[in-house]
Amino acid sequence: MSDTVLWSALADAHRRAIIALLLQGPRPVGEIVQECGLSQPSTSKHLRVLREAGLVRVRQEAQRRVYALDPAPMAALDAWLGPYRRLWNTGLDALGRRLDAAPDDTAEPPPHAWKD
């Protein structure tokens, strides 16, 4: 699957909400419709995009279609983000050190400061 298809699928907020819901476990389409507050046709369209991007799998259970996350594309995405995560963490660690070294302006004033 191309990176463009994956990024395009993840660009939509409704599809990210569906992925977040499926992170909790497999769900039938009706439950996804109800939880996400979308119409059945809209939900089906988003699920098709996610399926074509390889982000979700579907299995038939009697008359129901049950969707689940496919972790492989997320693992590939995580690997791709690795170098950027190190860059962000380095910057955040430096910020943390600077904040730890700064005086604490939020400390309680001494008791005598409350007197008139």
29 in a domain, yes or no? yes
Given a cut of 70, is residue 1 above it in pLDDT? no
99 in a domain, yes or no? no
> 65, exposed or middle or buried, with CB in 10 Å at 0-12, 13-18, 19+?
middle
Total domain count for the chain?
1
Taking only the tens place, the pLDDT of each residue in 43-58 is 999 999 999 999 999 9
34 in a domain, yes or no? yes
Beta carbons within 8 Å of 76's beta carbon, 6+ residues apart: 6
User: Which domain does 38 fall in, by range?
Assistant: 3-70
Give pLDDT, residue 115.
60
The average confidence (pLDDT) of the chain is: 87
Taking only the tens place, the pLDDT of each residue in 22-31 is 999 999 999 9
Here the CATH number for the domain that contains residue 40 is 1.10.10.10
85 in a domain, yes or no? no
19 in a domain, yes or no? yes
> pLDDT-derived band of residue 80, with 50, 70 and 90 as boundaries?
confident
54 in a domain, yes or no? yes
pTM over cut 0.75: no
pLDDT mean over 5-24: 94
76 in a domain, yes or no? no
Taking only the tens place, the pLDDT of each residue in 54-79 is 999 999 998 999 999 999 888 888 88
